[in-house]
Amino acid sequence: MKLEQIETPAALIDIGRMQKNIARMQAHMNTLGVAFRPHVKTTKCIDVVRAQIAAGARGITVSTLKEAEAFHAAGVNDILYAVSIAPSKLPRALALRRQGCNLKLVVDNPTAAAAIAAFGDQHGATFEVWIEVDTDGHRSGITPEHESLLDVGRILHENGMTVGGVMTHAGSSYELDTPEALAALAEQERAGCVRAAKRLREAGIPCPQVSVGSTPTALAATQLDGVTEVRAGVYVFFDLVMHNVGVCALEDIALSVLATVIGHQPEKGWAILDAGWMAFSRDRGTSKQAHDFGYGQPCLLNGTPLAGYVVSGANQEHGILSPIKKGAHEANGDITQRFPLGMKLRILPNHACATGAQFPEYYAIAPDGQSTPWRRFQGW
């Protein structure tokens, strides 16, 4: 199917851009001498993950057990479930391990560690557990110097569980926008996680793996001494938030939403699209950054950004495309002529993970314009 024939709204993957993004990240990790474990929550798509593994990725990171189950069924075995495990989900985790999945769990508090140890003892099972470390105060985890880090390690180690390593995520990197700030945070992330591993080892608790990562810090890192692997997810598609952070160009963004012009409000300078927040998502991450892209950046079908225009508003199934500056449509001609009824556009998203989640499948667009449907996993 040609691009022009796809029903709208639809999620598109530019295969050429995606492959370039994969190669860029993998080459950087190879240069730094660490393994790379992509976070697949961005795409939840086996076709994308196969491309990442083919490029050199070792294992994957997931954010739901549904992802772990689906990817293991598709043949991926080495999986880090990078969300602190709820005790009620331990039976599903055990089922995966008994199916041969090398599933690693994550905890960041003694209570959760004790629950894993008790469940493992009850069922005669040994879980591999990684401890989440907080290196930037962004979300969850134990700070490197906190005493509970050793408490968690001891509970697991002394009750027959395997402490597989420590992991951290510098999510505050999304709030930065200079190379110097990103490099500094990458070093802070590295040093904090390495320090946590050192404390565990000094206490007699094995800690073989040290895992760090976010897309901005992964790309900004210049040395990763003491780190064994890096994780990153959105890099495979990139998005407008990442563009504002400064780690990609608009031309690197591989995910877009295909939409059709279905009407106009000429006196307001609006073109109406058949894609609203049910297609783009409600994520307005760029509204907190220096450049606000509204609900997305419109582009021609060939991917060329339409400078001076933005998707400024969205209802459930309607999007509003308008000039960035009020009155700019007058200088650019009649909006009905610029964007005629039936015209199709590609809209670059604020947040690739959130936009991708609105669709059950992607249309992967090859350089010759032909598309292939790629299934996307959904649910928890």
**Residue 225 belongs to a domain with what CATH number?**
3.20.20.10
Considering the domain architecture, whether residues 213 and 277 belong to the same structural domain is answered as: no
Give the Cα-Cα-Cα angle 327, 303, 274 (nearest 5 degrees). Answer: 60
| 115 found inside a domain | yes
Q: Are 194 and 340 part of one and the same domain? A: no
Which H/E stretch holds residue 311? strand 309-314
Domain count, the chain: 2
CA distance 295 to 318: 11
- Judgement on whether residues 214 and 111 belong to the same structural domain of the protein: yes
Is 352 part of a structural domain of the chain? yes
In a domain, 31, yes or no: yes
Give the residue from 182, 241, 248 showing the smallest Cα distance to 21: 248
pLDDT at 1: 84
Paired sense of beta strands 10-14 and 255-265, if any: antiparallel
Residue 79 in domain: yes
State whether 224 and 254 are in the same domain. Answer: no
DSSP annotation of 2:
B
* Same domain, residue pair 40 and 180: yes
What are the start-end ranges of the E strands in 37-94?
60-62, 78-84
Q: Which residues sit opposite 133 in a β-bridge?
A: 142
The answer as to whether 1 is a domain residue is: no
Q: Which two tokens stand for residue 314?
A: 């969205």
Residue 93 and residue 225 in one domain: yes
Question: 11 in a domain, yes or no?
Answer: no
Asked whether residue 36 falls in the same domain as residue 85, the answer is yes
CB atoms within 10 A of CB 220: 26
pLDDT, position 325 = 76
380 residues of the chain, pLDDT tens digit each: 889 899 999 999 999 999 999 999 999 999 999 999 999 999 999 999 999 999 999 999 999 999 999 999 999 999 999 999 999 999 999 999 999 999 999 999 999 999 999 999 999 999 999 999 999 999 999 999 999 999 999 999 999 999 999 999 999 999 999 999 999 999 999 999 999 999 999 999 999 999 999 999 999 999 999 999 999 999 999 999 999 999 999 999 999 999 999 999 999 999 999 999 999 999 999 999 999 999 999 999 999 999 999 999 999 999 999 999 765 544 455 899 999 999 999 999 999 999 999 999 999 999 999 999 999 999 99
Q: Structural domain of residue 134, as residue ranges?
A: 16-233
| 208 and 259 in a common domain | no
**Residues contacting residue 204 through CB under 8 Å, at least 6 positions apart:** 157
Evaluate whether 283 touches 242 at the Cβ level (below 8 Å). no
Query: Which tokens belong to 36?
Result: 């790379």
Strand partners, 309: 323
State the pTM of this model: 0.96
pLDDT confidence of residue 326:
61
CA 66/CA 60 separation, integer angstroms: 14
Q: Which residues contact 85 (CB under 8 A, 6 or more apart)?
A: 93, 105, 106, 107, 112, 116
> How high is the pLDDT of residue 330?
47
| The domain boundary residue, chosen from 183, 204, 233 | 233
Same domain, yes or no, for 315 and 171? no
Residue 368 lies in a domain: yes
Q: Domain boundary residue among 202, 233, 264?
A: 233
Residues 312, 185: one domain? Answer: no
Contact yes or no for 186/221 (Cβ under 8 A)? yes
Q: Are the CB atoms for 71 and 43 separated by under 8 Å? A: no
Per DSSP bridges, beta strands 255-265 and 344-348 are antiparallel
| One domain, residues 145 and 286 | no
Is residue 8 in some structural domain? no
Tell me, yes or no, whether 26 and 116 share the same domain. Answer: yes
User: CATH number, domain at 318?
Assistant: 2.40.37.20
pLDDT number for residue 327: 53
DSSP string spanning 257-280?
Answer: EEEEEEEEEGGGTEEEES--HHHH
| Cα–Cα separations (whole angstroms), residue 20 to 10, 52, 101, 182 | 22, 11, 30, 22
Q: Are strands 10-14 and 361-365 parallel, antiparallel or unpaired?
A: parallel
